[in-house]
Chain A
Amino acid sequence: MKNKTISALAKSRITYNKGRSVLTGIAICLTTVLLMSVVTSAIGLFDISRQQAIAAGNQHAVIRLLNTKQVEMLNNHLDVEALEVNMQFATVIYDNMNGFLNTSSTLKEGISHGIGNLTEGHFPLTPDEICGPPAFFERMDTEPVIGNKITIPFRVGGEGLIQTREFTICGLVSQRDVSDLDISDHRIAYGAAVSDALAEEYLAPEKRYYSAAVRLFGESSFTEEQMENAIREVCLDIGGDTDNIVYNHQYLMTMLTASAEMTAAVAAIGLLILFFSALVIYSIYYISVITDVQEIGKLKALGASVRQVKRLFISESMRLCAIAIPPGLFLGFGIPAILLPPVMNSIAKDSPFAYAIEHYHMFSAAALVGVAVSVLVTVRISLSKPLRMAGKISPVEAIRYQEASARTSSRKGRTNLNLFQLSLANLMRNRKRTVVTIVTMGLSCVLFMSFAATLNSMSTLDYARYSIPEGDFRLYLDGSWNDREYPENNFDVLQQQNLLGEGMLQRIRDIDGVTDIEKSGFVLFSADFSAPIFENHTRHSLAPFTREEVKDMQKNITEGEIDYDKMLAENSVICTSYLDWEEMGLSVGEPIALTIYDGNREIPLTVSVSAVIKDSRRGFLTLPQELWDSLELQFDPTCDLYISVDEPNYDGAKTVLQEIAAENEHFILYSLDEELQIGSSSINLIKYPLYALLIMVAVISFTNLINTMLTSIVTRKRELGILQAIGLSDRQLKKMLSLEGLIFTAGTFLISVTLGNLFGYLIYLYAKKEHFIGLSSYHYPIRETIGLAVLLIVGQLFITAFLNRKVHREGLIDRIRSGE
């Protein structure tokens, strides 16, 4: 049999087995689409990360708290490629504005930023010049025009007396557009640059501490870890404190090791997709093997050699690939190329952390070729069973080959049969085929459910609860612990004014829609103990906790134990700042004398620390409620109000609360809708692409179900005809096909929710440990489970309806006679 004959035969087989060819083609095409989409999206996302990282700032690290001499040493260091030094010179005191003034000098060119680049004028040179983004000046009710004057009250270093000075606007810089963000003003930081000369006027050289943004030479030859080590070395060389290094992880991860990590991640996802696709394509060929085996028999009986028969099947499958892969590549590139840019730009618009990207680079010829080759290899592997059989089986055996398991000779059976039992018997006839189909579909759904648990647990609400632990709003006192120049800002003084006392509570209760108000508070204390954090009577916070909260707190213990009754008996407290604990030099159980500040009253209290926990939401020290009550505080220590509002009145309540917050410079209001918005864009960036990927994997597996049921109809054509001849009505036939489909669906669903939930929980635990965004508590993916069930059932019903129509395309007699 010459090659031409084989090619012609392969072509005719594709046309003759149209149903199977179409299904196989779809599976191959979908695999290609999915793989190409993943690779293209990865290339695009990687490129976006790079652009975002560069836009945010290309420094490798910022080394803080450097003195003038150290800066000079850094500038002369041989490893330093680029250097920019900044000093946060002062905080702006204007209204409730979160503003600051800083100085900035470029000592070695090479540091770039996404914003803060000069758009007009020049950077400040003289003490009276100021340069900043237009938003800074507008916030201070001054038109951002070069030459305009602006008077700015500020506190040098954020402390000391308030200075006031008039500046001339000498330059404007680029800024991020936050006008679309619906967040409170106090969440936005406004910064402007002043000259070194001004800083020198106010700050003696020994009081000037700079932050240095550095880049080292040879970026491309470092991994992230190596770069961090190198920076550490440089810091030590100049006598700096390595604790003051802030690495630019976003940049380092993206530019240095992202290639390796991203490649590994993409490769893992790609292999997973290939695995499922191979399973599906293999299953399609395996399930159709009965037709192929008989064909093999006929061909061998006609004189075809084993090699020729194998070449026939390979030629057929490669032709299918030639038809299916190119559109797969086209769609696989086209879909992300079209969808990704607007999606990413939309997310960037809503996120305070992202920069808009103008040009997306997503094409890679190597990726194109790699995907095509991977799919070809997958298809080739899927042919193994028919090719193996082609080699072994004799012509007569092949022609006589029937699907039924040769090992079974009898069946216990039932005395009476109904439709369900008939359907079950049909499926059990070839257990292997049934199991392969269920397992293939089940595994892809397991994958879906596994990741659904983590994705569903990425809760913007959990993210928001970091800022607003309960309720819809948080109104809190913005005060100081140790403001010596302006003690009226300190909490112990503010608490004497009873700002969040009963009067305020009543005002808030009177707002339409307010359903509940919870409060929390703390008092200040100092300690007579020799440790840097307590030096000069530096004050910290002391808050109460209840017996009911102990269980939660025990999850975060790093040292000691929490025994509520023992703590009551022994006057014990818990330290919540596990980072400061070591600095304190205390041991668990050792006594420490505190002075508690209740307004203008001082209360001495000696305590011992019984445990150390990780919980930044509580006071520095926290003690049992009963001990707190025994202090008999005269002033209301409330510092936080958590206000719950019913939904219809949310907006109205927010407006009133904002007015209340505006009445006093010490009031800050957090709103849940703003916190949710900030959290959601970050989380959605990860969630939606992953969901899209998982759904596509599930779709590929669905083609396997279609193929299984279609093949079972084709191979049982005569049998179904006989059944109708002996009394199976059209309605019963439809019901029987539905039942068979439902059995597949039920098996798939069972595997998904058992294994899927198990793996899902394990993946969640791992992701939480690795501090994935928005993960604090496990949320069972109810929606996804219901969605999966609905998708499986609806999909299966569609397939049944389609197959039922296919069955009836031929007349009853023709169906009975087929195969005779």
Chain B
Amino acid sequence: MTPILETKNLCKYYGSGENLVKAVDHIDLQIAQGEYVAIVGKSGSGKSTLLHLLGALDNPTSGEIWVDGKNIAALTGEELTALRRRKIGFIFQAFNLIPSLNVWENIVLPIGLDGKRADEEFVRDILRTLDLEERTNALPNTLSGGQQQRTAIARAIAAKPSIILADEPTGNLDTKNGDEVISLLKLSAKKYGQTLVVITHNEDIAQMADRTIMLEDGRLI
């Protein structure tokens, strides 16, 4: 079966000479469709860099990245953006909601950017699943951290992407909210058949994954 995410000899270097930093160093990786993968490692091990490369948010120094059978190096800027809109849902540690839009609008934003109309029933289902029904018109500055992150999750899955990439999604949450968020993430990924890749420092979260990938100094261990 073709992996939905694959890297071949992937490298991302910063600086040069004495200041050379190998954030990602010759990584070969394959992630199957529907898999829940946790990426763990110390600070500075290259986890976020790898995730950003997988999500086409950054360009590799060398190597290949294949997303759903496409080598993304061959794609133009517009095509990459379209890929992010349709295939990938990204969840950041800092929530990163648009402050001028309410919860509903934040969720349907990627769909609108794609020039499509939202599947209202589907979005309402997400809101129910993530316990955000009562807060549909609320602006982000009135939401708690957990609610904001749940909104970010909803935004990530509303466009029905095949891949969800989450960079420390519980990093800014307390334990209770963190557990809740991960459970919901896993639940919705399973419900909608999505591949889930999560960066985490939390061992409990890592243990919930189907597979754990460990990084150290930019390399797979």
Contact = CB atoms under 8 A, between A and B. Distances in A.
A413 B105 contact: yes
Interface residues of A, number: 39
Contact of B77 (A414, A421, A729): A729
Contacts of B99: 402, 404, 429, 719
Nearest to B90: A725
A727 B114 contact: yes
B90 A729 contact: no
Interface string B82-117: 101100001010101011111011001111111101
A416 B107 CA distance: 10
B78 to A, nearest CB: 5
Interface stretch (B37-45, B65-73, B134-142): B134-142
B139 A417 contact: no
B150 interface: no
B208 interface: no
A730 B142 CA distance: 30
Interface string B129-147: 0000000011101100000
A729 B98 contact: no
A536 interface: no
A271 interface: no
Contacts of A179: none
A418 B112 contact: yes
Contacts of B84: 725-727
A417 B109 contact: yes
Nearest to B118: A416
B58 interface: yes
Interface residues of B, number: 39
A9 to B, nearest CB: 29
B180 interface: no
Contacts of B58: 811-813
B155 interface: yes
B104 A415 contact: yes
B96 A816 contact: yes
Given A813-B57, A820-B94, A726 B85 contact: yes
A410 B96 contact: no
A133 to B, nearest CB: 77
B52 interface: yes
Contacts of B139: 404, 408-411
B81 interface: yes
Interface string A540-557: 000000000000000000
A724 B112 contact: no
B100 A426 contact: yes
Nearest to B97: A722
A593 interface: no
A415 B81 contact: no
Given A425-B100, A727-B114, A811-B58, A410 B81 contact: no
A392 interface: no
Interface in A702-750: 718-719, 722-732
Interface of B: 52, 55, 57-58, 77-78, 81-82, 84-85, 90, 92, 94, 96, 98-102, 104-105, 108-115, 117-118, 120, 137-139, 141-142, 155, 159
17 contacts: A404-B100, A408-B139, A409-B141, A411-B100, A411-B102, A412-B137, A413-B105, A415-B120, A425-B105, A718-B96, A723-B113, A727-B109, A727-B114, A732-B113, A811-B58, A813-B57, A816-B92
Would you list the 3 A-B pairs with minimal beta carbon distance, nearest first? A727-B85, A417-B112, A429-B100
